[in-house]
Amino acid sequence: MTRARATLTGFVAVLLWALLALLTKGTEPVPPFLLNALSFGIGGALGLGWLLASGQGAALRGIPWRVLAVGTAGLFGYHALYFSALRLAPVAEASLVAYLWPLFLVLGSGLLPGERLRAGHVAGAALAFLGAALVVAGGGGDLRGAAAAGLALAFLCALTWAGYSLASRRMGAVPTAAVALFCLATAALSVPVHLLAEETVWPADAGGWIAVAALGAGPVGLAFYAWDVGMKRGDVQLLGVLSYAAPALSTFALIVAGQAQATGTLVVAAALIAGGAALAARASAAPVSRATGA
């Protein structure tokens, strides 16, 4: 697979994550760890089923425990924090803080072997983050009035996902099939935590169950397999900046679902996000100078 195709595959995950907030909202009042267990159980089962049906089950053999631990910690930690943040704090404010992860990913990518962080990457990340901030803050919420615990969890969630993504790059030799095990382990780990710390509350109606199923199949399922391919074989810096499209696309999804209204802020934010992505793409495409290495 070429670097460009892998980057495009990784962007599929960004498109799916645009539905994450909408679907998470649709699963209320399911508590965070139960939602973790249900959605990751679906995502892991679908991945495992596809591997077995396509005769690739052997790819799951011999995966080191260290890799399983890192992958499970990344998926379990991020989503436990994310679902909890959206239950405790207003959705817009929590999303703003959670979407610091692309910025952390772009800046941290310069520490990876064979990667070089350029001025265009930093400028693009800053510009795109400004656009993302406009989108998620455009709902009129007041950050000072948000639940402090929820915002703190959202910040930890951003650090967790950036760390997991960078770790995936370093584990490039591990097959993407391992993501199915990460998902199943995350679901299994969520069950005892739920039983010990939460009251069991199932979706209130058929719409809630559909939201859970869609969450497990898309943003908490296929997205992880696509992201793993992008992180291991694609352009990390470009994917990090393109990830800022998720809050803009999420807003579009909310508008289509009738839960948000189109505003001038959205147009400005979309322009900032597109401009940031263009800057990062140009930086990635520019040849490296032999004299300066920049």
At 70-88, the pLDDT tens digits run: 999 999 999 889 888 887 8
Among 23-32, 47-56, 128-137, 220-229, name the one with the lowest average pLDDT: 128-137
> What is residue 203's DSSP assignment?
-
Check residue 107 and give its pLDDT: 78
pTM above 0.75, yes or no: yes
At 84-137, the pLDDT tens digits run: 888 787 776 677 678 788 878 877 877 676 677 778 878 887 887 787 777 666
Higher per-residue confidence, 40 vs 66 = 40
Q: Of 38, 55, 81, 89, which is closest to residue 210 (Cα–Cα)?
A: 38
Residue 65 scores a pLDDT above 50: yes
Among 9-18, 116-125, 207-216, name the one with the lowest average pLDDT: 116-125
Helices (H), the chain: 3-17, 20-26, 32-53, 65-88, 91-98, 101-109, 119-137, 148-170, 178-197, 206-217, 223-233, 236-242, 245-256, 264-285
